[in-house]
Amino acid sequence: MYAVGRTLDAAPDRSGSLAETVDAIRRVGRRAMAVRCDATDDDQIASLFGQVRTEAGRLDILVNAAFDTPGFRSSIDVPFWDLPPAIWGDVVNLGTRSAYVACMHATPLLLDTGPGLIVNISGRGAESYRYNVAYGVGKAALDRMTRDMAHELRERGVAVVSIWPGTTRTEHIDAMLARGDTWAQAHLGDIDGMETPRYLGRCIAALAADRDVMARSGRRFWTAELASDYGVTDERGRRHPVPGS
């Protein structure tokens, strides 16, 4: 497994790192390698998949989840005319274009390996207003990309699925609360009731193990929907309702 992102090592002023992610994976008995990669840099993405081909020689699953969570918060609920044009790059280029570029490089490896899976981490903003205009455009494009890539890959045995997580308790959220962030305290609600990254990970693992995964290709699912279908629970055995239900 390759864990990829911009922050390699843990530091007091950072929330989460690849080193911590790899350590968590190893603690549950799995192997992982940390690779630093800026998702906005096409050359670095190409280099990443070159490394995968050289070292592993195969690819079974690609999960696209790049997003600038810390930088995004200041744009939440701000009208588009009051935001700088750079918000488009921060959201659409990083969150959507980088997924497209990653898929370009990953697909030849997936096809060489055999049946494979691409998962795009999207969200409800694809279909209803959420946060701001750029966010909605990015998520809608990501879901459309899922549908169209699934169409082109269906006969080649590679499934492409979008997953919509509920609000997820990430390291960034824990760090905000630990430093007494008033916005987080006012807006995040029941922290203990949030989904966790491991919940999403378990659902992706179940999806990848599903022999009938092609029946889901080109579609989007809430994490909680997949969890219900596959009998997956969050940490400590918790089950989550589908948001809005």
Q: Is the pLDDT reported for residue 184 higher than 80?
A: no
131 is known as an active-site residue: no
- 71-82 pLDDT, tens digit per residue, is 787 888 899 999
- 135-163 pLDDT, tens digit per residue, is 999 999 999 999 999 999 999 999 999 99
Predicted local confidence at residue 188, as pLDDT: 75
Predicted local confidence at residue 245, as pLDDT: 52
| Averaged confidence pLDDT in the chain | 91
Give this prediction's pTM.
0.92
Question: Which domains does the chain possess?
Answer: 59-237 (3.40.50.720)
- 8-63 pLDDT, tens digit per residue, is 887 776 667 899 889 989 998 999 999 999 999 999 999 999 999 999 999 999 99
Strands 158-164, 116-121: pairing kind? parallel
Q: Choosing from 2, 100, 131, 135, which is the catalytic residue?
A: 135
